[in-house]
Amino acid sequence: MNWTGPFEEAAATLRTTFFTGAGVSAESGVPTFRDQDGFWNRFPPARFAHWAGLERLIQEEPLLIAEFISEFVRPIVMAQPNAAHRAIADLEKLDKDVTVVTQNIDGLHQTAGSSHVVEIHGSLFEVIEVRKSDDIISPVSPQSLSLMLSDLEALLKNGQCTTTQLLRAVCPILGVGPEKAHRPNIVLFGDLLPSCAWNEAVAAASAADCLLVVGTSQLVYPAAGLPALARSNGAKIIGIGLEDCDCDVLLIGAAGVTLPRVVSRI
Ligand code: NAD
């Protein structure tokens, strides 16, 4: 092989399995969690990243939860795919068999046109209805999320809200009570990963010749174990992002700039 630099090396070894995190959507305006201006700085995970904490805050500080949901959901509803999502989707036009294992819940890979996306942390565009026998997953439209955001905006403008008002506003994604309990189909701290998606992710990582790891701090387990699993099965690991990571080829740079450059060399 005649490699002349890291981009050529990355392209030459590409076997079209991607493992993406929040960084791939940063250029679409969706904040990451752990960067300096990340979401967790304003809404610390110890309080906001698990259902028990959220349930408590809904009762005790409904206005704060209105702000949290609004700030979490709005950028995702407004976001459009960026050059990185499009570059991954464009690979399918080259007849490549592309698998995208994503930790993101924003649906942007699918909007960009990727047809095989494994969402190991769920999706904001789905709710899960918790039942005794089995859980039911239903879609939530961007329109109903937009309506919810308008209702939350009105509460925030008012500067005060009760738990009842909050629950009325967020009913498209959250319902509590014996009649009908539903919540966003997203994985928070302490939750099990959806087993079907996780099994698919493990199979894809195990079978990969090359895994492109894009825009993830690799701090969230078990997801962060996928690159090591791929490597132990012989895959070459290509890291794309703003920070150093454990990989064979490191491409430092924003995903929206770096990924199209790799893909254009295939
Ligand atoms: P993280 O916030 O822990 O880390 C983000 C990583 O992306 C960092 O390494 C950062 O340096 C890098 N990054 C930032 N901007 C980038 C850019 N333009 N190009 C390339 N890399 C960039 O994110 P994580 O590792 O995915 O873990 C956080 C968890 O939170 C995951 O479960 C994820 O699903 C969830 N999350 C999802 C979204 C989303 O759906 N868009 C957004 C925030 C967090």
Q: What is the CATH number of the domain that holds 95?
A: 3.40.50.1220
- Counting residues of the chain whose pLDDT is more than 90, the rounded percentage is 77
254 within ligand 1 shell (Cβ under 6 A):
yes
Q: Measured in angstroms, how far is the CA atom of residue 22 from the centroid of ligand 1?
A: 2
Asked whether residue 149 falls in the same domain as residue 259, the answer is no
| Nearest-10 crossing angle of helices 51-60, 62-78 | 120
Close Cβ partners of 260 (under 8 Å, ≥ 6 residues apart): 83, 84, 86, 87
Residue 14: pLDDT above 60? no
Asked whether residue 111 falls in the same domain as residue 44, the answer is no
Asked whether residue 61 falls in the same domain as residue 133, the answer is yes
Last residue of a domain, one of 166, 186, 206: 186
Q: Measured in angstroms, how far is the CA atom of residue 38 from the centroid of ligand 1?
A: 9
Asked whether residue 181 falls in the same domain as residue 53, the answer is yes
26 within ligand 1 shell (Cβ under 6 A):
yes
Last residue of a domain, one of 142, 159, 186: 186
Asked whether residue 21 falls in the same domain as residue 86, the answer is yes
Domain count across the chain: 2
Q: Tell whether omega for the bond before 45 is within 30 degrees of 0, i.e. cis.
A: no
pTM: 0.92
Asked whether residue 132 falls in the same domain as residue 69, the answer is yes
Q: Which of 50, 109, 116, 121 does the annotation list as catalytic?
A: 121
pLDDT score recorded for residue 179: 65
- What backbone phi and psi angles, to 5 degrees, belong to 173? -120, -15
109 is catalytic: no
Asked whether residue 98 falls in the same domain as residue 157, the answer is no
Q: Measured in angstroms, how far is the CA atom of residue 33 from the centroid of ligand 1?
A: 6
Atom 32 (ligand 1) nearest CA: 103
* Residue 136 token pair: 């039911």
3-state secondary structure 15-44: CCEEEECHHHHHHHCCCCCCCCCCHHHHCC
Domain that holds residue 179: 31-78+126-186
Confidence of residue 49 (pLDDT cuts 50, 70, 90): very high
Residue in 265, 264, 260, 215 with CA at minimum distance from that of residue 87: 260
Q: In this structure, how many other beta carbons lie within 10 angstroms of the beta carbon of residue 174? A: 19
Asked whether residue 163 falls in the same domain as residue 36, the answer is yes
Asked whether residue 11 falls in the same domain as residue 88, the answer is yes
Asked whether residue 91 falls in the same domain as residue 212, the answer is yes
Last residue of a domain, one of 186, 202, 231: 186
Side-by-side strand order, sheet with 117-119: 117-119, 99-102, 17-20, 210-214, 236-241, 249-252
* Residue 20 token pair: 């993406």
pLDDT digits (tens, 9 = 90+) for 79-110: 999 999 999 999 888 767 789 999 999 999 99
22 within ligand 1 shell (Cβ under 6 A):
yes
Close Cβ partners of 105 (under 8 Å, ≥ 6 residues apart): 76, 119, 121, 122, 123, 124, 186
Asked whether residue 171 falls in the same domain as residue 262, the answer is no
Q: Measured in angstroms, how far is the CA atom of residue 178 from the centroid of ligand 1?
A: 36
255 within ligand 1 shell (Cβ under 6 A):
yes
119 within ligand 1 shell (Cβ under 6 A):
no
d(CA 246, CA 248): 7
- What backbone phi and psi angles, to 5 degrees, belong to 104? -80, 155
Asked whether residue 232 falls in the same domain as residue 264, the answer is yes
